[in-house]
Structure 1
Amino acid sequence: MEAIFFAGIALLCMVSFIFKLLTLRGSLAAFLTGALTFYSFQWQGLVILAIFFLTSSLLTKWKREVKEDFNAEPLEDKKGRTAGQVFANGGTSMLAATGAILIPDPVWLIMFAGAFATATADTWASEIGVLSKTKPFHLKEWRKVEAGLSGAVTRLGTIAAVIGAAAIGASYYFLYDTSTFMASGIIIFAGFFGNIADTLFGAWFEQKFYCQICKTETESKWHCKTKTTRIFGLPWATNNLVNFSSTIIGALIAGGLYIWTVK
């Protein structure tokens, strides 16, 4: 039976590569993430992973022609999610899965779900929020900025983040044998505030660039088919690093609250 699941994970990764949801290296990274998830958290963990991956991929492609000017890495999106993007969103869940193998404890499952709740909330907020009819408000610069910059929020994006985190929290409740909403509530809370951490990290540390052609700020090193100029942020503070850091925060919040309130 386990061999069937591993074969299914491999097949799904291959299909994702063929349909350009993932690059080749991205599909290999996704297989590793899926295999570890199944080994530690069984098929239910795969469903949580799939909810994040499928919804994120569909939202990325949804109204892409409208988003192209805002996406941090538009060329990468056309080829699919890279290994870096897979590990940025799924790396923390892999650490939780590894922890569950080395030191079996229910807290690892909560941390796993908290990490994916954060990744889902962040992705939904970004992909839906960028379509807001009102300009986002930047938390550090304390002004309205152009859509697509990290560190900025919209009402639409915030609502999307809550719903994204709730999707993972609700999935946990229905997939695992539980008689209380406490753990699901913890996951939703952790996912939303992990997303807030992502926004703050993006506002204070992530790189920003300026396009000399269209005179706008962007997160991309290339814009309007021209190399942009870095105007802010730490050289090593990439979007992938910010995403990974926020999922760590979400997992730690989930694990800490679970130990404090449930165990």
Structure 2
Amino acid sequence: MEGFLVRSAVAVVLSLGIAARAYLHRSLDRSGAISGFLVTAIHIAAGYRFAALLLVFFFTSSKLTKMGEEKKRSIDEDFKEGGQRNWIQVLANSWLATILVVVFVSVTGGQDTCLDTKKSKFLTGLIGGIIGHYACCNGDTWSSEIGILSNAQPRLITTFKTVRKGTNGAVSVQGLVAATAAGLLIGLTCVIVGLLTAECATDAVLNQLLAIPIAAAAGLGGSLIDSLLGATLQFSGYCTVRKKVVGKRAPTVIKISGTDVLDNNAVNAVSVLLTTLLTAVACMYIF
């Protein structure tokens, strides 16, 4: 309990600093900074490993979002200077993990534990779900931000036909490799910080390394799920006036793919949910 109280105090101070920095650097708008403060504080209070996963995702994604801004401005209809995110985007990338870390700390009292089904299958599933969540978020962001800068034309995941950059559901080799690397980084972070903060049985220490390939697979798999949903349930069209790929129908828009069932935030939320569940189940059987 003492450790939890210390982390809670650290959480308030550190989260304020991170949120203020993100707001000043235009990574978050005001609503995003407020929601980001709350989410970060909860993660830090719940455990330093969970905070590390969140912060690795946030900082690497923010850096990549700012890469090649001139090129992205000419392609992305929703381009914002600095990649500024609002509260909806913050929660779309953190709501499920936040719920899972709250459940985790309510069960453990704030004591971190290893991925070890012999000790607790339920807690192993919770940690696995959190890994899957941030591997998916990181993978999707890295894939989008690096893929759009590629010189190669992407292909629609459902037909493999070449499409314009910015089309929902379009994939590229560079983007898929980036998604895998993003997931791998999440797994590596989980293992390194987890071994420093969690109490592991001797025979379970080496098993923790399995989180790295699992997270890499979750990064790639989450990106593919996101692309499949985007290609089928999210509308993409080419505006002949703006000369950009857009997400809404209009008289000047020629349809490329998809339907008007989900918007971008909903696609992200569904792909995160599915990847989280799949990774949680995988960890409950692997560890």
TM-score (norm 2): 0.82
1:61 aligned partner, one-letter code: K
Report the CA distance shift for 1:205/1:183 in structure 2 as closer, same or farther (over 3 A). same
Q: CA offsets per residue over residues 25-56 of structure 1, 9 Å max, x none?
A: 1111111211221232x122212111110111
1-structure distance, mates of 2:131, 2:50: 8
CA contact (8 A) 1:114 1:188 kept: no
| 1:20 paired to 2:45 | no
Alignment of 1:94-113 (within 5 A): 94-104=98-108, 105-113=123-131
1:229 Cα shift?
A: 4.4
Work out the CA distance in 2 between the residues paired with 1:203 and 1:52. 25
Q: Which deviations, in whole Å up to 9, do the C-alpha atoms of 1:108-143 show, x marking residues without a partner?
A: 122111100111111001000111111001122431
CA contact (8 A) 1:207 1:234 kept: yes
Q: Cα offset for 1:17?
A: 0.7
In 2, Cα distance between the equivalents of 1:216 and 1:19? 27
- Structure 1 residue runs without a partner (length 5+): none
State the aligned residue count.
256
Q: 1:86 maps to which residue?
A: 90
Q: Which amino acid aligns with 1:67?
A: K
The answer to whether residue 200 in structure 2 is matched with residue 195 in structure 1 is: no
Whole-Å separation in 2 of the counterparts to 1:84 and 1:218: 20
Residue 234 of structure 2, aligned match among 183, 191, 206: 206
Letter of the structure 1 residue corresponding to residue 145 of structure 2 = E
- The aligned runs of 1:1-263 (5 Å cut-off) are 1-2=6-7, 3-40=9-46, 42-75=47-80, 77-78=81-82, 80-104=84-108, 105-177=123-195, 178-180=205-207, 181-219=209-247, 221=248, 229=253, 231=255, 233-262=258-287
**2:58 corresponds to which letter in structure 1?**
F
* Distance in 2 of aligned mates of 1:72 and 1:38: 35
C-alpha deviation, 1:216, in angstroms: 4.6
Q: Name the stretch that deviates more: 111-120 or 208-217.
A: 208-217
Give the residue type in structure 2 aligned to 1:165. G
Identity of paired residues, percent? Answer: 25
TM-score (normalised: structure 1): 0.89
Structure 2 distance, partners of 1:227, 1:10, is 46
Contact kept? 1:151, 1:202, Cα under 8 Å: yes
- Could you tell me how far apart the structure 2 residues matched to 1:24 and 1:115 are? 25
